[in-house]
Structure 1
Amino acid sequence: MDPANPASFNHRTELLSTGRRYHFVDQLPASYDPATTKTFVCIHGFPDFWYGWRYQIKPWVELGYRVVVPDMLGYGGTDKPEDEAEYTPRKICNDIAALMDLLQLQRAVIIGHDWGCFMVSRFALWHPNRLLSLIMQLVERVPNWGYHLFFNDKRSSAEIESKLSKFFKLIFRDKRKSDVRLENWTLTGGLARVLRSDDIQLNDTGVLTQQEFEYYLSQFDRSMHAPLNYYRTTLHRFREEQGELFGYDAILQAPRPDLPVLLIVGKNDPTSNQAALDVTRKLIPHVRIELLDGAGHWLMVERKEYVTEIVPQFVRNATAKDVQTKL
């Protein structure tokens, strides 16, 4: 399990009961016991894939946890439907539950980042008895979403693919290195302006090493349409959450009150803000929120040691408090 060698992890590809084929990393500890070993299921966001958790997998396995990290629908080695309606939260959450069924996991610690954060929050509502605890890295409820309008236009797929290196250098840039031309790129029109400007050249691979950057490029070459479909599900999500299980205000429902919840937020993350934290505190009064100074969006890389340590610590504390830890 070497982060510099993606092939060193245990890769699997399986057909789920939902009819979708998923690729995932499934790493078992030496002391694995299906009756007692807790499992971490890690859900990535955009634009990422299982590799986003590369620095956490081995340390967590060495602590005795099973770690399962799928390529979500549309990414990596997982199926990539063309229709954006296939990427709605209910369908994605059903995929996560089906993956757990395949692995014979009744419950797990569910961890999400970026879009994964939103998906695991919905999983906590639609499959409440499948979670031991919920850990979310950054908030996606009230971010600066102007760039969503650009992504929502299907023509953006080809434009981003044609400028993929520049796009990833922007997405993974180190916020500590100031560049006024890149400020507010998340606002409406900002991303398109940066991509289309010949005067804005990005040379730094940001929080990624050159080797990691090249691996990301290889995984997303000519395959941005499916990942961007998540941003094209707004109407589908609205209709989905008007269903019989939830009402119109389902988006503001909280997970079950006894579920341990940890939220980790980088203070320099342009997609998060204080309003989102206020909503979270109101909905989940018992939530533990960790605000990280100097950290941006990519917490698993920028603060890899912290994330690696705090998640097992949080799970151990939840267990010590005797909060529903029965597998």
Structure 2
Amino acid sequence: MLQYRNIDANGLRFAVAEQGTGPLVLLCHGFPETSYAWRHQIGALAAAGYRAVAPDLRGYGGTDRPADPQQYTVWHLVGDLVGILDALGETQAVVVGNDWGATVAWHAALLRPDRFRAVVGIGVPMMGRAPRAPSLLFPRTEEALFYTLYFQQSGVAERELEADVPATLRKILFAGTGEGGLNPFGMVDRAAGMLAPLPDALPAWLTQHDLDTFAQSFAASGFRGPLNYYRNLDRNWELQGALEGLRVTVPALYLAGERDPGLAMPGMRAIVDAMPALVPDLRGSVMLPCGHWVPQEAPALVNEALLGFLRELD
């Protein structure tokens, strides 16, 4: 069982799971997850001589949830990680992220290489700035719209996702495995919503206890904070103009699932192949036999890759 405590950082109170002593490894979860998504990695890292810390990110789980949607930009999230390092009394960390957490981890390494000495991105690759704001690039028709656009209007996705939290999590987590060609990260029927076409099934890698743990967190926090990450995609794009030409210079590793539906999006494979231009010290790009929730679906392989990368650093 993960051991939690609360810390104050960057003006918020964070719930963090922590285990071990040694060099700090900071673990950032995705959507819809919490720090519990790292349950298979925290003990392995501690046993290998590292201090593993996994926060519930801003808006999630036991962490504070600012009411203003504009307080969920990547800049706020990187600021949270810097604040967490300060609260822990640490000067540096290796930052690891999956899904949304990968976006945060890449930008933490990009913006603060003095604090984040290496980065592991899982699922979501490091990406350059798009030619236009994301809302202008994502597809939409009269009948359907891309899921990130569906998430934009306050209250709409919340009502659907919060109506039956355990069913919501079962559907999204099962579909994210990529089994049977399912993809929760695609077009959403304007009338039926996001969840209707997804099977209500518990993934093989998730126990009922695991699901109950996630569901308890989302029943308490709701989905508004997590959805606010998506509601800042255009604002992030506007602010990224200041970063043009910057590269992630610290040592890096990329992991992804072979069946990840996110990588089936048009152009994503090309983005993965182009990463060395943005991440010149990329030391590996490893595809694993799983779907989108890589640390939960293939924990032994993730732990092997992560610990190998860390040993190479240290």
Shorter-normalised TM range: 0.7 to 0.9
Cα deviation for residue 53 of structure 1 reads 0.3
Which residue number in structure 1 is paired with residue 299 of structure 2?
Answer: 304
Q: Is the 8 A contact 1:265 1:289 kept in 2?
A: no
Cα deviation for residue 188 of structure 1 reads 2.3
Cα deviation for residue 28 of structure 1 reads 2.5
Q: Which amino acid aligns with 1:302?
A: E
| Long gaps (5+) in structure 1 | 30-36, 320-327
Task: Report the aligned-residue RMSD.
Answer: 2.5
| Long gaps (5+) in structure 2 | 139-145
Structure 1 length-normalised TM: 0.81
Q: Is the 8 A contact 1:205 1:213 kept in 2?
A: no
The yes-or-no answer on 1:173 pairing with 2:164 is no
SS in 2 for 1:76: coil
SS in 2 for 1:262: strand
Structure 2 length-normalised TM: 0.85
Cα deviation for residue 262 of structure 1 reads 0.2
Query: What is the aligned counterpart of 2:213 among 208, 212, 215?
Result: 215
Which residue number in structure 2 is paired with residue 164 of structure 1?
Answer: 165
The yes-or-no answer on 1:129 pairing with 2:122 is no
Q: Superposed, which structure 2 residues align to 1:1-327 within 5 Å?
A: 5=1, 9-16=2-9, 18-29=10-21, 37-139=22-124, 141=127, 146-154=146-154, 155-173=156-174, 175=177, 177-178=179-180, 183-189=182-188, 193=192, 195=194, 197=196, 201-221=199-219, 223-242=222-241, 246-247=242-243, 249=244, 253-256=246-249, 259-272=250-263, 273-319=268-314
SS in 2 for 1:25: strand
Alpha-carbon distance in 1 for matches of 2:69, 2:274: 28
Q: Is the 8 A contact 2:24 2:50 kept in 1?
A: yes
Q: Which amino acid aligns with 2:224?
A: H
Identity value in percent: 27
Larger radius of gyration: 1
SS in 1 for 2:261: coil
Cα deviation for residue 234 of structure 1 reads 2.1
Q: Which amino acid aligns with 2:208?
A: Q
SS in 2 for 1:64: coil
Q: Which amino acid aligns with 1:63?
A: A
Q: Is the 8 A contact 2:121 2:254 kept in 1?
A: yes
Q: Is the 8 A contact 2:17 2:55 kept in 1?
A: yes
Alpha-carbon distance in 2 for matches of 1:186, 1:219: 22
SS in 2 for 1:128: coil
Q: Which amino acid aligns with 1:152?
A: Q
Alpha-carbon distance in 1 for matches of 2:168, 2:15: 25
Alpha-carbon distance in 2 for matches of 1:212, 1:192: 31
Cα deviation for residue 204 of structure 1 reads 3.1
